[in-house]
Structure 1
Amino acid sequence: MQMNFSEIVLKPVGVIRSKIKEPVPRPDGAGITMKEKRKNVKAQRDKIRSMISEIVIDPSLEELLDDTDGHSHLMVLYWAHKVPSESRKLTKVHPMGLKEMPKRGIFATCSPARPNPVLVTVVRLLKRDKNILKVQGLEALDGSPVIDIKPYVHGYHGADNFKTSEWMEKMHNEVEEV
């Protein structure tokens, strides 16, 4: 089957206002233990889960937000605009930047380094004020373009009988144990 697609052009619907100004640097391992790395990952994740951010939608598109406040959680799709072009060519990465982990295919990881750096985060909707959504738990950098917003519907988006690879499950358990 030939994959001959024309270019896809996306127009952002808004922008993210966040306290996260730069990507979290991944230490190269010099002078830092794997336990310290995992501790840093856990601290950063916990900080993000409680962080309050704003999603500012283009005022001309404000009507798109009607009735979103009836949902407790939303899925925010955004463009990882600070992923360098050379990182978009990677095919494999060390999960979470942990060098002791074998490299894995990009699509098997949550790495922002992707051919098309479209990321998604489920957030708690705290408040809507006209074209601005105040949310909790958004893992995006300040200035990230918003591509789309969808309601999170557990019965529709929550998978039943899902499986996570053993290596990812082990990695997340190790982060929790730190």
Structure 2
Amino acid sequence: METETTNELILQLTPVGVVRSPITTPMLTAGESGLTLNERMDRIKEYHRRVKETVCRLEIFPRWVELLDGIEGFSHILVLYWPHLIDPARRSLKKVHPMGRSDLPLQGIFATCSPARPNPVLVSAVPLVGRKGTLLEVGGLEAVDGSPIIDIKPYSKAYLQVENLRVPAWMAQLHRELEDE
């Protein structure tokens, strides 16, 4: 068994672009006591419906344009981005109530999709609507305007689909609530 050392590896990430989105404030805010939902619970379904219908622009920096060659052949892409509005002091949260809901059990950060994490790298699988030069249009990306893009990958069911997927009861409950119309 490996033991943790005091030496930390320093990583350097270079943004490849920036998200342009009508979303200007995050849905969740990380505070000292955990996560706070910035939307009323009765409006969450409406918020998620609006996000699904939203088309965002991914502005890829010109120096990376050649890396986009062939991306148009994919219907969906994975967007890895940095939630830049999360206070770095809040990245030390260890446990949260998912979605800031105290009716859901307290979970370790790695068991949630919370943006408040030691390395706040977020990932979303989204439909690729189109490409114009260094600009990608995608649907349903829940990223705040100005979020730095860390990477883009093609979505391939052969590599990313899993069999016998299992999620805890609280996550299944959240999915059911969001899907109920």
In the alignment, is the contact (CA less than 8 A) between 2:28 and 2:99 conserved in 1? no
Q: What are the superposed Cα offsets for residues 116-142 of structure 1, whole Å, 9 maximum, x if unpaired?
A: 110001111111011110111111010
SS in structure 2 of the partner of residue 87 of structure 1 = helix
Unmatched tracts of structure 2, length 5 or more: 30-38
**Paired residue for 1:57, among 50, 60, 72?**
60
The residue type equivalent to 1:54 in the other structure is R
Rounded Cα–Cα distance in structure 2 between residues aligned with 1:11 and 1:169? 35
2:71 matched residue in structure 1: 68
Residues paired across the two proteins, number: 169
1:91 matched residue in structure 2: 94
SS in structure 1 of the partner of residue 57 of structure 2 = strand
1:101 matched residue in structure 2: 104
> Is residue 2:89 matched to residue 1:125?
no
The normalised TM-score by structure 2 is 0.87
SS in structure 2 of the partner of residue 6 of structure 1 = coil
SS in structure 2 of the partner of residue 126 of structure 1 = strand
Q: Percent identity?
A: 46
> Is residue 2:114 matched to residue 1:111?
yes
Unmatched tracts of structure 1, length 5 or more: 27-35
SS in structure 1 of the partner of residue 130 of structure 2 = strand
> Which residues of 2 match residues 1-178 of structure 1 at below 5 A?
1-3=2-4, 4-24=7-27, 37-177=40-180
SS in structure 1 of the partner of residue 174 of structure 2 = helix
Q: CA RMSD of the aligned region, Å?
A: 1.6
SS in structure 1 of the partner of residue 128 of structure 2 = strand
Rounded Cα–Cα distance in structure 2 between residues aligned with 1:96 and 1:25? 7
Rounded Cα–Cα distance in structure 2 between residues aligned with 1:176 and 1:38? 14
Q: After TM superposition, give the deviation of residue 170 of structure 1 in Å.
A: 1.9
Q: After TM superposition, give the deviation of residue 166 of structure 1 in Å.
A: 1.6
1:33 matched residue in structure 2: none
Q: What are the superposed Cα offsets for residues 45-87 of structure 1, whole Å, 9 maximum, x if unpaired?
A: 1111110000011101100000000000000000011111232
The normalised TM-score by structure 1 is 0.89
Q: What are the superposed Cα offsets for residues 94-148 of structure 1, whole Å, 9 maximum, x if unpaired?
A: 1111122221111111111111110001111111011110111111010000000
